[in-house]
Structure 1
Amino acid sequence: MSEQTTILLAEDEVALGTIVKESLETRGFEVIYAEDGDMAMKLYESKKPELLVLDVMMPKKDGFTLVKEIRKMNDRIPIIFLTAKSRTEDVVEGFGYGANDYLKKPFSMEELIVRIKALLDRKQGSSASETVNIGKYAFNFSKQLLSYEGSEIMLTHREAQLLNELYRHKNELTERTLILNTLWGNDDFFSARSMDVFITKLRKKLTLDEEIQIMNVRGFGYKLVC
């Protein structure tokens, strides 16, 4: 990774936050650190980081609230949530707010670094400018943009990834496990619930063309019909 890559880390457990910050810095990342949600928002606005690693439970402003506010300004920045193992409900809810990935505490630094690099690689690798037609929509994957008769609909990073995967297999069944392992890196319960949330979001954004459907083939996967 480039030494210029700046990560915003927000974690109210100072001991853990210090370890994570120092570990990421040894890998060439620039890390700005916040101990609460308010401080994290101020650093986000002033430093313009390229990726966020956020604890869910923080004083002054929790991770969910922080992400909702940031997503109003930036739909594309990759976000990883850190969540306590006992709060499994955070996982599904967090994806709904716009997270791209999550890690349960306790976690290994190697796993966090792998997740970070994967998100940055996807972001940097999405450079193609090709626009494809999905029914009456125009879809630009790299810009994370849907266009419909002059109107523009922004997609989140994960929404664009998911729609692109479905489009690659349009009018054919795309297996759940394939999507989950390709985009989420595993096919566990929480990733599956997260994917269902994003499928629902995409369906809402594609309602302007009644001929487009994302069909659920129960137990097998999804089919983009267009």
Structure 2
Amino acid sequence: MKKVTVLLVEDEYDFGFILKQYLEMYDFNVHWYQNPMKALDDFSIINQCDIAILDVMLPQMDGFTLAKKLQEKIDFPFLFLTAKNQQIDRILGLKLGADDYISKPCDPEELILRIKNVLNRKGYKSTREEILIGSYIFKPKQLILQHSNTDYQLTEREVSLLLLLTQYNNQVVTREVILQHVWKNTDYFTGRSMDVFISRLRKYFQNDDRIKIQSIRGVGFHVVFPVD
């Protein structure tokens, strides 16, 4: 299963080191740069990233300028780190497409939740060509789920649903989260449609009994996607 990869640009060594360690503890891949120019130069690295966390006050280039230059290379969501009580042009950040602001020093657990919320709002999609789910190979860009010599052609909505579920491996995802991020609607009939799609995914995965999308009545689904 692909981990979420974070581009972290923070020039303060102690804070950046702690933040990197904490993100990795929560199973994120982290590419940390103290120098924004170096981050821009490493296109092969930033092309692997799913989200960026940028300090506003950086040497050589502020976070807003860095965000604008990054957007010229790749499209991913980003959050700004700001010093407590720091006066910044939040309107400029919003115009650039900032997804959130976080004050330093921040509560690491709050940061983790904010990252997950941003990715969920964006309908996070893996940048990798293939995602391993047990004995299956999921190819989201090709709309294919592959097992042995069999290819299951997926619909775009099935792909969106499966991508969302991969973010919740060994966790519970609520019905509301799925409906909001895949169907953009939470009414009764949409909920019934979601149940049909969940049933389809279970049928696709019937050849590997380790893979589970377990219903939790009144809550949602517990997802178990083993990684071979």
TM-score in terms of structure 1 length? 0.52
Identity, % of aligned positions: 40
User: SS at 1:9's partner residue?
Assistant: strand
1:146 alignment counterpart? none
Q: State the Cα deviation string for residues 104-159 of structure 1 (Å, max 9, x = none).
A: 122100111001111122333689958xxxxxxxxxxxxxxxxxxxxxxxxxxxxx
More moved, 87-96 vs 56-65: 87-96
Question: Partner letter of residue 52 of structure 1?
Answer: A
User: What is the CA deviation profile of residues 51-93 of structure 1, one whole-angstrom value per residue up to 9, with x for unaligned ones?
Assistant: 1000011012221111111222334x11010011232333332
Q: Does 1:32 align with 2:27?
A: no
8 A contact 1:12–1:34 mirrored in 2: yes
Tell me the residue number matched to 2:72.
72
User: Residue 57 in 1 paired to residue 57 in 2?
Assistant: yes
Amino acid aligned to 1:67: A
- Distance in 1 (CA, whole Å) between partners of 2:33 and 2:62 is 12
1:3–1:29 contact (8 Å) kept in structure 2: no
Q: Which ranges in structure 1 are unaligned for 5 or more consecutive residues?
A: 131-160, 169-226
Structure 1, residues 15-64: CA drift from partner, whole Å, max 9, x if none? 00000000000000010100021122123x12121110000110122211
Q: Secondary structure at the match of 1:88?
A: coil
Question: CA, structure 1 residues 98+125, in 2 after alignment: closer, same or farther (shift >3 Å)?
Answer: closer
Q: Distance in 1 between matches of 2:96 and 2:54?
A: 13
What residue is the counterpart of 1:106 in the other structure?
Answer: 105
Query: Cα–Cα, structure 1 residues 62 and 89, in superposed 2: closer, same or farther, change >3 Å?
Result: closer
Distance 1:114 1:37 in 2: 25
Q: What is the distance in 1 between the residues matched to 2:90 and 2:110?
A: 17
Q: How does 1:184-203 map to 2 (within 5 A)?
A: none
Amino acid at match of 1:118: N
* AA of the residue aligned to 1:84: A
Kindly name which structure, 1 or 2, has the bigger radius of gyration based on alpha carbons: 2
SS across alignment from 2:89: helix
Residue 140 of structure 1: aligned partner: none
Rounded Cα–Cα distance in structure 2 between residues aligned with 1:108 and 1:3: 25
CA distance in 2, matches of 1:61, 1:124: 30
- How far apart are the structure 2 equivalents of 1:89 and 1:103? 12
Give the Cα separation in 2 of the matches to 1:7 and 1:33.
Answer: 8
Give every structure 1 segment of 4 or more consecutive aligned residues whose post-TM-superposition deviation is greater than 4 Å.
125-130
Q: How many residues align?
A: 133
Counterpart of 2:86 in structure 1 is 87
Where structure 2 has 5 or more consecutive residues not aligned to the other structure, the ranges are 126-139, 141-154, 158-179, 186-228
Checking the alignment, whether the CA contact within 8 Å between 1:9 and 1:34 is kept in structure 2 is yes
1:17 aligns with 2:3: no
Q: CA distance change for structure 1 residues 12 and 91 in 2, over 3 Å: closer, same or farther?
A: same
If the length of structure 2 is used for normalisation, what is the TM-score? 0.51
Compute the RMSD of aligned alpha carbons. 2.9
